[in-house]
Amino acid sequence: MQAVRYSGYGKAPELVEVPTPVCPDDGVVLEVLATGVCRSDWHAWRGHEPVALPHVPGHELVGVVNRVGRDVHDFAVGDRVTTPFVNGCGVCELCRGGDAQVCPHQTQPGFTHHGSFAEQVALFAADTNLVRLPAGMDPVVAASLGCRFATAYRAVTAHGRVGDGDWVAVFGCGGVGLSAIQISIALGARVVAVDVSEVARRRAADLGAVPLGSDDAAARVVEVTGGGAHVAIDALGSAATEVAGVRSLRRRGRYVQVGLMLGPDARAPLPWDAVVAYELEVYGSHGMAARDYPAMLELVDSGVLRPAELVGRVIPLSAAPAALMAMDSPAAETAGMTIIDLTQGW
């Protein structure tokens, strides 16, 4: 089969012929229909997170079940499915409790094994991790739910508990940030969106957010919201946005860290004075378990949530190497998500 693969960190990925994946006993092999190009794939390619080389990226995937392992009960050949980027083991206490997103024995397609920038991809623990798509849902739209939209959905609903009339401050207007803006507004919230890029701010404003530059952002959010946001979400992942996010909250506000804190940012300080004096809640958010997808898919199917509006470009598999490498520019996502459509050939 054809796959996009790189042999070293930062080395140009190439479209190459590789063997089809082996089907795990508890898993499936999917024929990939569509798959998103995500900043996490870029981080792995750049060596910020170790992967076994050579490596095939891709984790925001939609496909048709092509082969089924002997221990799988709930899925069959021909099912159209998606999956969270974190796949739980299916047997530990956390997985059985519905929290596969933090399973200690998790697998991640495109990180722990070869991913979906390929004609086929293997997934483990299918009964725990596969999500059936509503009939007629466009694979490109479903792939755009990928890690970014689903992650934003859980940050806004489960951790942020965003409600009607709340003020939400979103820091970073890439894929996750724009998703969080759209979801918050759909749930009746008012949103302030902070980004250094004017193009990103314009996209945020198009979705209905009040756009703000990054200069003195916390104080300006407090001003715009009349005393601070109820919920702040760092969708970028940096010391600067994290500190500004916490400082932009009103008393008893909720802070959600979604953007990965990598490298030196992993040890960024948290403004504990505000956390204590304001009684802030601070959450880390790591994707969303398959169990929680149906509620989100229902809102997409009924048109309340419109992930299609966040898709910027649809490309063939052969254009994936260039799209991944283009993420060297921090502005790569400001034109919207890039989705690889494998139904059009490569």
- Point out which residues bind Zn ion (CB under 5 A): 38, 40, 60, 88-89, 92, 95, 103, 147
- Closer residue to Zn ion, CB minimum distance, 229 or 320: 320
Q: Which stretches within the chain are classed as H helix? A: 39-45, 93-96, 126-129, 139-144, 150-154, 175-186, 198-206, 217-224, 239-247, 272-277, 293-301, 320-325
d(CA 213, CA 198): 8
- Closer residue to Zn ion, CB minimum distance, 88 or 271: 88
Q: What is the DSSP string of 189-211?
A: -EEEEE-S-HHHHHHHHHTT-EE
CB 71 within 8 A of CB 27: no
CB of 57 vs Zn ion, minimal distance in Å: 10
- Closer residue to Zn ion, CB minimum distance, 40 or 241: 40
- Closer residue to Zn ion, CB minimum distance, 183 or 210: 183
d(CA 71, CA 109): 20
Sequence-distant (6+) residues with CB within 8 A of 180 are: 152, 155, 156, 168, 170, 233, 235, 258
Residue reference for tokens 């082969």: 67
CB of 93 vs Zn ion, minimal distance in Å: 8
- Closer residue to Zn ion, CB minimum distance, 114 or 254: 114
CB of 192 vs Zn ion, minimal distance in Å: 25
SS3 30: strand
CB of 193 vs Zn ion, minimal distance in Å: 20
Task: Name the residue whose CB lies closest to Zn ion.
Answer: 38
CB of 249 vs Zn ion, minimal distance in Å: 27
CB of 14 vs Zn ion, minimal distance in Å: 21
- Closer residue to Zn ion, CB minimum distance, 89 or 229: 89
CB 169 within 8 A of CB 233: yes
Determine the length of the chain.
346
